[in-house]
């Protein structure tokens, strides 16, 4: 039972972390290698909220706003010139990640920070005692996934974004302001990364390089998922589940590379990943 | 042919001399360096020079071939760990040190070969190579962590006995190794074979359609550069006396890319300067302002990627490009390198070919056969499936049904370069050439499979079939052999691509709208060339064309495609007077 819950919640956490990256890759076809930095920024929003003595839940909107504003600046000044050079965009955003990491270090120091758990304690679920927060993460992931499907399927922005995904030239010819759609998408992506950073704080230690550890995993998942949130959920469940199984029964260290190796193999067999499914 | 002698071999020999002088100067600096430098500087520079070797390997992959890689750190780490593990667990004596040297090169080469094989397969994407280059360091690092006492896990290995050279000796060893590898890299990238890397970066599909097996080249390159990185790891393990998991990590891999980018990708000297300069300055400054320094490097990196993607060396490169233009080889007519066809089977034989995308049938039941010397025009309105049919003849994975045979051999499952090797040349609708190369270099690419290029020098002769030289003369390109392709006009690029395809000595040429966008004169020239090729040289040609007057003038046979079906196959007379064709072209097919 614990194993199943571990698998589900690990997948949920991966999903939360990867959505921001997928949003940007799906619409803009750009790999945002500063994703790790946005996660870190979000986590430090939680730290700052705690320092100021505010309600820890306030960190969520704060982090989303901080991520979105920084995303606005990033899209305008760094990413926009690089749409035609996707490999260079990876590098430029990675460089930005270095810069943000150093700025955080200058501001907060390089030490590990601790924040209060948003939901401490455990709950009994079908006779198993389990971390309440991990269960909350599962709920949050589902809410995020549903919210996003609504955004994409049910709103005008989502419709425009889907138009840009399918055929950007046509979308522009039809009078859609594709530049604005790109900017807004990028802001949502970075905002979500900030949000994910806050949600991560109870689960990992917070330090200026924490984001990098999550970057590669979410990058792999997004590559496998392609453009679809459904595929991302599937990828998180399969690869995250495999990671938990390998960590439990083989070795935690090898568990750490399960996602990356499986993603590489999946992409080798089916270069489009799960997006065709 | 003295009239074609535009050659000036002087710049090349001058370049060799310049390179020799630079190399000697660098060697001298490396040898006397320890007399002037303090311990700290010696330590830092030794390490930086080893890292500079890695930066060269990153540059060859990324700057020259266009494969963005974070994975060189993994090969470096593998080489360093192989050395350290051998010296720690087996012992240290001259024989074992020599064995360590061999293993530190061979093991990363094997890993590199395996990684390359996994990464580069027909249809693989650039992104995939980058993804794999992230996975490899992570896997190697995790293996090191899980290696227990074997690898020292997270604390690494320390306290083994390396080569007994002392600080000065290691400085000189690292420096000499760097100079040797830098010179070898410089010689290689300037050689005829080295230009293939640039050609792959420019236009990999064209390379494949010139019969070059680009995947094999990339796998080989990954393996060899893995070996070089492993050698750097050997030096590092000896010189530093300690290896740690970070040495193999992807963060280190990204640092290598940063140094290469700042120094200038696509030059060999740039990354060397970048690695040594940043390494040295980091060591000097990071004590006083550690985070600010990283911040500065990060900012500089972002700014450079956006505004000056070719790095600090870009200005120098611009200078070199100008110098490069003007060195043109001498044209020499070559006897045919390809054996004459012996098969009795039709040159091209298509039976019941089908192509569909999902339920949408683009081609249906196409049966067509072509004999040597024929000039077959493929006509039909837009969307009739002409280009798709061309693709099915040159890519064994394209068709969804039916069979395509070349000289009796089915091409099913073959990749383009294998099909080209069987005597098919394809000219694309939009001229597909190599923008960063000169005219002569493009032509040499076309000869790569018939006439293996040198890996050390630039040849001052260019051997081409007589027909190719004739077309060059007709188009005036023979006077522009040293000109960069990016400076050519649209029509000149079309002609160049045609000469490239003819230089392959194909038995069958496929031409997709070779006259689109050309002037009347250029059109007539190409028409004449095609007639000569087919009627006199016995080459067969299939031509997709919209200009019916042009088609009528030159074709020996016309095939009409309409809505994915072959509706007519006959002589010029038959087709021009046919009612169906009149209907299709006047749009009256629906009455």
**Strand stretches in B384-459, DSSP E:** 401-406, 409-410, 424-427
What average pLDDT does this structure show over A209-222? 85
Lowest mean pLDDT among B3-7, B197-201, B304-308: B3-7
CB-CB neighbors (< 8 A) of B135 in chain A: 220, 257, 260-261, 263-264
Q: What is the pLDDT of residue B283?
A: 85
Q: Which residue from B minimizes the CA distance to A257? A: B139
Domain ranges of chain B: 8-248, 348-452+459-586
Residue B52 or residue A26, greater confidence? B52
pLDDT score of B2 more than 50: no
Nearest to B306 among A92, A105, A256 (CB): A92
Nearest to B128 among A216, A257, A271 (CB): A271
Q: What is the pLDDT of residue B341?
A: 65
The CATH code of domain A2-269 reads 1.10.3470
The verdict on a CB contact (< 8 Å) between B142 and A96 is: no
The verdict on a CB contact (< 8 Å) between B131 and A92 is: no
DSSP 8-state secondary structure symbol assigned to residue B365? E
Asked if B534 contacts B556 with a C-beta cutoff of 8 angstroms, the reply is: yes
Q: What is the pLDDT of residue B5?
A: 38
Under an 8 Å CB criterion, which residues of B touch A?
A: 68, 118, 121, 123-128, 130-132, 134-135, 138-139, 142, 145-146, 250-251, 254, 257-258, 261, 291-292, 294-295, 297-299, 301-302, 305-306, 309
- Summarize pLDDT for B540-585 with one digit per residue, the tens: 899 888 888 888 888 888 888 888 888 888 888 887 777 777 777 7
Nearest to B146 among A94, A254, A271 (CB): A254
Report how far residue B480's alpha carbon sits from residue A210's, in angstroms, rounded to the nearest whole number. Answer: 56
Question: Beta strand B375-379 with B557-562: parallel, antiparallel or unpaired?
Answer: parallel
The verdict on a CB contact (< 8 Å) between B291 and A102 is: yes
- Record the tokens describing residue B556, joined without a space: 């020996």
The verdict on a CB contact (< 8 Å) between A99 and B258 is: no
- Record the tokens describing residue B44, joined without a space: 């830092």
pLDDT score of A182 more than 50: yes
Report how far residue A154's alpha carbon sits from residue B7's, in angstroms, rounded to the nearest whole number. Answer: 67
Nearest to B142 among A95, A97, A253 (CB): A253
pLDDT band at A167 (very low <50, low <70, confident <90, very high): confident
Residue B189's nearest CA partner among B213, B225, B242, B158 is B225
Residue B573 or residue B13, greater confidence? B573
Angstroms from B457 CA to nearest CA on chain A: 31
> Yes or no: is domain B348-452+459-586 CATH 3.40.50.300?
yes
Report how far residue B36's alpha carbon sits from residue B34's, in angstroms, rounded to the nearest whole number. Answer: 5
- Record the tokens describing residue A241, joined without a space: 């589940």
What average pLDDT does this structure show over B442-455? 86
Q: What is the pLDDT of residue B357?
A: 82
pLDDT score of B539 more than 80: yes
Tell me which residue has tokens 């006009």: B489
Q: What is the pLDDT of residue B339?
A: 67
Residue B109 or residue A127, greater confidence? B109
* Residue B354, φ and ψ in degrees, nearest 5: -135, 145
* Residue B415, φ and ψ in degrees, nearest 5: -95, 160
Residue A7's nearest CA partner among A96, A89, A130 is A130
**DSSP run (H or E) holding B501:** helix B490-503
Q: What is the pLDDT of residue B342?
A: 66
The verdict on a CB contact (< 8 Å) between B127 and A86 is: yes
pLDDT score of B174 more than 90: yes
Asked if A115 contacts A56 with a C-beta cutoff of 8 angstroms, the reply is: yes
Question: Considering chain A, what percentage of its residues have pLDDT values greater than 70?
Answer: 98
pLDDT score of B442 more than 50: yes
CB-CB neighbors (< 8 A) of B309 in chain A: 85, 88
SS3 string of chain A? CHHHHHHHHHHHHHHHHHHHHHHHHHHHCCCCCCHHHHHHHHHHHHHHHHHCCCCHHHHHHHHHHHHHHHHHHHHHHHHHHHCCCHHHHHHHHHHHHHHHHHHHHHHHCCCCECCCCCCCCEEEECCEEEEHHHHHHHHHHHHHHHHHHHHHHHCHHHHHHHHHHHCHHHHHHCCCCHHHHHHHHHHHHHHHHHHHHHHHCCCCCECCCHHHHHHHHHHHHHHHHCCCHHHHHHHHHHHHHHHHHHHHHCCHHHHHHHHHHHHHHHHHHCCCCCCCC
Report how far residue A17's alpha carbon sits from residue A39's, in angstroms, rounded to the nearest whole number. Answer: 8
The verdict on a CB contact (< 8 Å) between A212 and B251 is: yes
- Summarize pLDDT for B265-278 with one digit per residue, the tens: 888 999 999 999 99
pLDDT score of B375 more than 50: yes
Nearest to A103 among B123, B132, B295 (CB): B295
Angstroms from A126 CA to nearest CA on chain B: 36
What average pLDDT does this structure show over A164-185? 83
Q: Which residue from B minimizes the CA distance to A86? A: B127
Report how far residue B289's alpha carbon sits from residue B210's, in angstroms, rounded to the nearest whole number. Answer: 53
Report how far residue B22's alpha carbon sits from residue B32's, in angstroms, rounded to the nearest whole number. Answer: 15
Q: List beta partners, residue B248.
A: none
Q: Which residue from B minimizes the CA distance to A93? A: B302
Residue B530 or residue B234, greater confidence? B234
* Residue A10, φ and ψ in degrees, nearest 5: -65, -45
What average pLDDT does this structure show over A54-75? 89
pLDDT score of B7 more than 50: no
pLDDT band at A276 (very low <50, low <70, confident <90, very high): low
pLDDT score of B586 more than 80: no
Angstroms from A23 CA to nearest CA on chain B: 18
What average pLDDT does this structure show over B18-31? 90
Question: Considering chain B, what percentage of its residues have pLDDT values greater than 70?
Answer: 93
The verdict on a CB contact (< 8 Å) between B126 and A263 is: no
Lowest mean pLDDT among A39-48, B230-239, B292-301, B512-521: B512-521
- Summarize pLDDT for B386-401 with one digit per residue, the tens: 888 888 888 888 888 8
Angstroms from A136 CA to nearest CA on chain B: 30
What average pLDDT does this structure show over B175-195? 92
Angstroms from B397 CA to nearest CA on chain A: 15
Question: Which of A:242-271 have CB within 8 Å of B?
Answer: 251, 253-254, 256-257, 260-261, 263-264, 267-268, 271
What average pLDDT does this structure show over B217-231? 96
Count of all residues that appear for chain B in the document: 591
pLDDT score of B587 more than 80: no
Report how far residue B392's alpha carbon sits from residue B399's, in angstroms, rounded to the nearest whole number. Answer: 5
CB-CB neighbors (< 8 A) of B146 in chain A: 251, 253-254
pLDDT score of A206 more than 60: yes
Angstroms from A60 CA to nearest CA on chain B: 27
* C-alpha Rg value of chain A to the nearest Å: 18
The contacts of residue B541 (CB under 8 Å, 6+ apart) are: B374, B375, B376, B508, B509, B510, B511, B530, B533, B534
The contacts of residue B270 (CB under 8 Å, 6+ apart) are: B59, B260, B263, B264, B311, B312, B313, B316
Nearest to A88 among B142, B146, B309 (CB): B309
Question: Which of A:108-127 have CB within 8 Å of B?
Answer: 110
Asked if A61 contacts A43 with a C-beta cutoff of 8 angstroms, the reply is: no
**SS3 label, residue B504:** coil
Residue B55 or residue B453, greater confidence? B55
The number of C-beta contacts closer than 8 angstroms across A and B is 101
CB-CB neighbors (< 8 A) of B305 in chain A: 82, 88, 91-92, 95
**Mean pLDDT rounded to a whole number for chain B:** 85
Angstroms from A99 CA to nearest CA on chain B: 5
Report how far residue A190's alpha carbon sits from residue A33's, in angstroms, rounded to the nearest whole number. Answer: 11
The verdict on a CB contact (< 8 Å) between B131 and A261 is: no
The verdict on a CB contact (< 8 Å) between A260 and B125 is: no
**DSSP run (H or E) holding B213:** none
Task: Determine the residue among A25, A29, A91, A210 to mutate to test chain B binding: the one whose Cβ has the most chain B Cβ atoms within 10 Å.
Answer: A91
Query: Is residue B385 left, alpha or beta, with left meaning phi > 0 and alpha meaning psi from -120 to 50?
Result: left
User: What angle in degrees, to the nearest 10, is found between the helix axes of B94-119 and B126-145?
Assistant: 140
- Summarize pLDDT for B296-333 with one digit per residue, the tens: 888 988 988 888 877 666 655 554 554 455 567 888 88
Query: What's the half-sphere exposure (Cβ side, CA atoms, 13 Å) at A76?
Result: 9
pLDDT score of B6 more than 80: no
The verdict on a CB contact (< 8 Å) between B128 and A105 is: no
Q: What is the DSSP string of B479-490?
A: GGTTSBGGGS-H
Angstroms from A210 CA to nearest CA on chain B: 13
Domain ranges of chain A: 2-269
CB-CB neighbors (< 8 A) of A75 in chain B: none
The verdict on a CB contact (< 8 Å) between B295 and A257 is: no
Q: What is the pLDDT of residue B83?
A: 94
- Summarize pLDDT for B60-97 with one digit per residue, the tens: 999 999 999 999 999 999 999 999 999 999 888 889 99
So what's the ipTM on this one? Answer: 0.87
**Strand stretches in B169-304, DSSP E:** 242-243
């Amino acid at each position: 039972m614990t194993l199943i819950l571990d698998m589900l919640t690990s997948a949920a956490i991966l999903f939360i972390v990867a959505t921001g990256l997928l949003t940007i890759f799906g619409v803009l076809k750009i790999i945002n290698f500063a994703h790790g930095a946005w996660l870190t920024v979000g986590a430090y929003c939680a730290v700052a909220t705690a320092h100021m003595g505010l309600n820890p839940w306030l960190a969520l909107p704060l982090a989303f706003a901080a991520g979105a504003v920084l995303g606005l600046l990033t899209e305008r000044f760094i990413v926009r010139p690089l749409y035609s050079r996707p490999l260079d965009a990876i590098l430029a955003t990675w460089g930005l990640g270095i810069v943000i990491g150093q700025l955080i270090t200058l501001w907060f120091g390089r030490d590990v920070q601790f924040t209060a758990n948003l939901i401490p304690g455990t709950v009994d679920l079908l006779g198993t005692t389990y971390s309440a927060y991990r269960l909350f993460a599962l709920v949050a992931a589902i809410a995020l996934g549903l919210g996003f499907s609504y955004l994409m399927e049910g709103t005008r922005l989502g419709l425009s974004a889907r138009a840009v995904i399918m055929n950007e030239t046509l979308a522009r010819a039809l009078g859609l302001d594709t530049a604005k759609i790109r900017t807004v998408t990028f802001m949502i992506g970075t905002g979500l990364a900030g949000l994910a950073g806050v949600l991560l704080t109870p689960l990992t230690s917070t330090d200026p390089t924490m984001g990098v550890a999550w970057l590669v995993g979410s990058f792999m998942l997004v590559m496998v998922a392609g453009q679809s949130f459904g595929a991302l959920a599937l990828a998180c469940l399969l690869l995250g589940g495999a990671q938990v199984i390998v960590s439990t029964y083989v070795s935690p260290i090898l568990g750490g590379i399960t996602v990356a190796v499986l993603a590489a193999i999946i992409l080798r067999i089916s270069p489009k990943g799960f997006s065709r499914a | 042919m003295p009239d074609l002698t535009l050659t000036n071999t002087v710049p090349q020999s001058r370049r060799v001399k310049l390179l020799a002088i630079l190399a000697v100067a660098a060697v001298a600096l490396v040898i006397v360096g320890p007399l002037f430098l303090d311990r700290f500087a010696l330590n830092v520079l030794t390490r930086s020079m080893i890292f500079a070797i890695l930066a060269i390997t990153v540059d060859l992959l990324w700057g020259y071939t266009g494969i963005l890689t974070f994975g060189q750190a993994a090969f470096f780490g593998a080489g360093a760990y192989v050395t350290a593990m051998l010296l720690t667990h087996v012992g240290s004596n001259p024989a074992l040190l020599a064995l360590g040297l061999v293993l530190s090169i061979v093991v990363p080469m094997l890993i590199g070969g395996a990684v390359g094989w996994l990464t580069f397969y027909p249809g693989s994407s650039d992104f995939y190579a980058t993804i794999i280059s992230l996975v490899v360091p992570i896997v190697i690092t995790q293996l090191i962590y899980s290696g227990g006492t074997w690898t020292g896990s997270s604390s690494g290995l320390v306290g083994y006995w390396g080569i007994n050279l002392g600080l000065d000796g290691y400085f000189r060893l690292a420096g000499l190794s760097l100079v040797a590898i830098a010179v070898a890299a410089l010689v290689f990238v300037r050689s005829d074979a080295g230009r293939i890397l640039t050609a792959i970066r420019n236009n990999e599909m064209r390379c494949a359609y010139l019969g070059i097996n680009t995947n094999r080249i990339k796998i080989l390159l990954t393996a060899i550069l893995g070996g070089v990185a492993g050698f750097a790891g050997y030096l590092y393990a000896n010189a530093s006396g300690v290896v740690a998991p970070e040495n193999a990590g992807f963060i280190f891999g990204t640092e290598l890319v940063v140094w290469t980018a700042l120094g200038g990708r696509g030059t060999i000297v740039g990354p060397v300067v970048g690695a040594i300069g940043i390494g040295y300055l980091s060591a000097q400054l990071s004590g006083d302002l550690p985070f600010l320094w990283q911040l500065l490097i990060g900012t500089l990196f972002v700014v450079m990627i956006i505004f000056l993607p070719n790095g600090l060396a870009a200005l120098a490169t611009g200078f070199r490009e100008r110098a490069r233009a003007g060195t043109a080889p001498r044209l020499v007519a070559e006897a045919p390198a390809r054996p004459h066809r012996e098969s009795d089977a039709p040159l091209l034989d298509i039976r019941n070919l089908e192509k569909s995308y999902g339920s949408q049938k683009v081609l249906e039941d196409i049966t067509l056969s072509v004999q040597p010397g024929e000039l077959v025009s493929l006509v039909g309105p837009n969307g009739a499936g002409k280009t798709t049919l061309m693709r099915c003849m040159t890519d064994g994975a394209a068709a969804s049904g039916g069979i395509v045979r070349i000289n009796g051999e089915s091409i099913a499952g073959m990749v383009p370069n294998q099909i080209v090797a069987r005597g098919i040349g394809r000219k694309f609708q939009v001229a597909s050439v190599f923008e960063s190369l000169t005219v002569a270099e493009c032509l040499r690419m076309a000869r790569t499979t018939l006439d293996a290029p040198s890996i050390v020098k630039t040849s001052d002769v260019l051997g081409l079939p007589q027909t190719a030289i004739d077309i060059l003369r007709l188009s005036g390109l023979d006077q522009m052999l040293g000109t960069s392709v990016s400076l050519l006009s649209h029509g000149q690029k079309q002609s160049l691509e045609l000469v490239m395809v003819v230089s392959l000595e194909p038995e069958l040429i496929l031409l997709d709208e070779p006259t689109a966008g050309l002037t009347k004169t250029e059109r007539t020239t190409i028409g004449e060339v095609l007639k000569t090729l087919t009627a006199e040289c016995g080459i067969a040609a299939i031509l997709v064309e919209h200009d019916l007057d042009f088609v009528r003038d030159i074709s020996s046979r016309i095939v009409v495609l309409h809505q994915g079906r072959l509706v007519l196959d006959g002589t010029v007379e038959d087709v021009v007077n046919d009612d169906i064709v009149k209907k299709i072209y006047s749009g009256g097919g629906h009455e």
